Amino acid sequence: MGDKAGTHAPPDRQAGFTMVTPENKLRRALNVPLLTLYGLGVTVGAGIYVLVGATAAEAGVFAPVSFVVAAVVVAFTAFSYAELSTRYPVSAGEAAYVEAGFSSASLATVVGLAVVLSGLVSAAAVSLGAASYLHGLTGAPTEGLTVAVVALMAVIALWGITQSVTVAAVITVIEVSGLLMVMLWGFVFSDPSGVTLPEIIPPLTGPHWVGIGTASLLAFFAFVGFEDMANVAEEVKDPLHTMPRAILWTLVLATVLYIGTTTAVLMAVPLETLSASAAPLLLVFADAPAPLQQGFSLVAIVATVNGVLIQMIMASRVLYGLADRGHLPKPLAYVSPKTQTPVVATLVVGLTILLLALTFPIDALAERTSQIVLFVFVLVNLALIRIKLAGAPADQHFRVPMAVPVLGVGTSLLLLATGLL
């Protein structure tokens, strides 16, 4: 893997892409730290706050190992995204990759809309979760709080990419701080009621690997989100170096946080109690002072709100990118000359999230979101394989061996098939 130079046409001129005029371009303002925080914000979220108990129910004391397995699986597709996002540093990344690999505008549109759908459903479900947490604190009607959450996040998203990602980055720091609180209290201050550290290391052989494998399917979904980084590539400074580094840092940091958090909870909480809980991280603070418990609850609210904002940014950029390339109505590609954000696309996304949150059974829709993401992963990896086999020219870009997208297809299909059983 590494950076390779070329002398061919810029990516914007490939696969049917058209160069946009300077006044209509999104602003390139994101560096490695901001993009990494954006990636962590969309990856580290409600998943880890609720998945620890579910993974422990399947893998038992070996739950942390399931996150290691999931990280290895995710890494293949992550590196495929690293190459593709530097070949084609544009919005609606997955759609652009599929169009370049399959020369099919219709398939690209399907993929782009699938990405948007997964983001909309996820954001709608998360906004309901945020409203429910807020209802517990304020007693205000959940419907009104849902409207307020979505409206506030839409205003921030319209404000500007630097401002909105900076807000998301600040929230992400708070969100990650919550996980660090869990680790600190679980490792240092809580009464150890769970397992010891040596018990978490599994034997090399035995039936326990079946449970670890099943749990890794759950843990995988805690990593879903890094791919959204590709959809702000058009707003990244120096995509050639920034995109791969930010993707790698996001994956490494998320893995460390997940393993540390899961281990701390297992050591602090009895396995039987943990496996039956829908709010497992709160169990770590069972013997903590009330202010600390309340403070952690606020962090959980912030984490859910952050998910709404980041999914809103992602979905609006995909709609903008599809419209900019003529696959959707042109008004969706309108960029405000003042904020340099896709105004119409953001408003459409915000209204759709609100509609889903208020009128549809989000739980039923959310169950399909992970399958949509895996479907997209398969097509993206296949697109990279086809691009490599065709020897498609490109300007400077990050490169990975052919084995990476091949393994990305295989692992994604395996998880998709398992989820459909």
In angstroms, rounded to a whole number, what is the distance separating the alpha carbons of residues 250 and 227?
10
DSSP secondary structure of 129-194:
HHHHHHHHHH---HHHHHHHHHHHHHHHHHH-HHHHHHHHHHHHHHHHHHHHHHHHIIIIIS---S
51: closest CA among 223, 265, 218? 218
Which range has the top average pLDDT, 69-83, 188-202, 352-366? 69-83
Sign of the Cα pseudo-torsion (339, 343, 345, 351, in order): positive
**144 pLDDT exceeds 50?**
yes
Split at pLDDT 50, 70, 90, the class of 3 is: very low
> Which position has the higher pLDDT, 78 or 52?
78
Q: Which of 3-7, 183-187, 383-387 has the lowest mean pLDDT?
A: 3-7
Split at pLDDT 50, 70, 90, the class of 92 is: low
Split at pLDDT 50, 70, 90, the class of 311 is: confident
- What's the pLDDT score for residue 381? 95
Residues near 389 by Cβ (< 8 Å), separated by ≥ 6? none
Alpha-carbon distances, residue 111 vs 38, 104, 329 (angstroms): 22, 11, 17
In angstroms, rounded to a whole number, what is the distance separating the alpha carbons of residues 15 and 189?
57
- pLDDT, averaged across the chain: 80
Q: Residue 361 — φ and ψ, nearest 5°?
A: -70, 90
Q: At what angle do helices 63-87 and 362-390 cross, to 10 degrees?
A: 50
- pLDDT 10s digits, 13-66: 344 444 344 445 667 767 888 888 878 877 876 667 767 877 888 888 898 999
In angstroms, rounded to a whole number, what is the distance separating the alpha carbons of residues 325 and 119?
20
**83 pLDDT exceeds 80?**
yes
Question: What is the rounded average pLDDT of the residues 176-204?
Answer: 86
Residues near 167 by Cβ (< 8 Å), separated by ≥ 6? 156, 309
In angstroms, rounded to a whole number, what is the distance separating the alpha carbons of residues 249 and 11?
25
Q: In this structure, how many other beta carbons lie within 10 angstroms of the beta carbon of residue 313?
A: 29
Place of tokens 């393993």: 259
Question: What is the rounded average pLDDT of the residues 261-281?
Answer: 83
Split at pLDDT 50, 70, 90, the class of 338 is: confident
- What's the pLDDT score for residue 129? 73
Element (DSSP H or E) covering residue 398: strand 397-399
Q: What is the CATH number of domain 27-420?
A: 1.20.1740.10
**365 pLDDT exceeds 60?**
no
Question: What is the rounded average pLDDT of the residues 166-180?
Answer: 81
**367 pLDDT exceeds 70?**
no
Alpha-carbon distances, residue 414 vs 15, 374, 396, 418 (angstroms): 30, 10, 33, 6
Ordered alpha helix ranges (H), 185-289: 208-223, 239-268, 271-275
- What's the pLDDT score for residue 406? 97
Sign of the Cα pseudo-torsion (217, 221, 223, 229, in order): positive
Distance in angstroms between the alpha carbons of the first and the last residue of the chain: 35
Query: What are the extents of the domains in the chain?
Result: 27-420
Percent of the chain with pLDDT over 90: 17
Question: What is the rounded average pLDDT of the residues 296-325?
Answer: 82
Question: Tokens standing for 345?
Answer: 């696309």
In angstroms, rounded to a whole number, what is the distance separating the alpha carbons of residues 181 and 385?
42
Whether residue 58 contacts residue 66, with contact meaning beta carbons closer than 8 Å, is answered with yes
DSSP secondary structure of 50-82:
HHHHHHHHHHGGGHHHHHHHHHHHHHHHHHHHH
Element (DSSP H or E) covering residue 113: helix 105-138
Split at pLDDT 50, 70, 90, the class of 419 is: low
State the pTM of this model: 0.73
Question: What is the rounded average pLDDT of the residues 274-285?
Answer: 77
Largest CA distance in the chain: 63
Which range has the top average pLDDT, 112-116, 200-204, 381-385? 381-385
Which range has the top average pLDDT, 35-44, 107-116, 383-392? 383-392
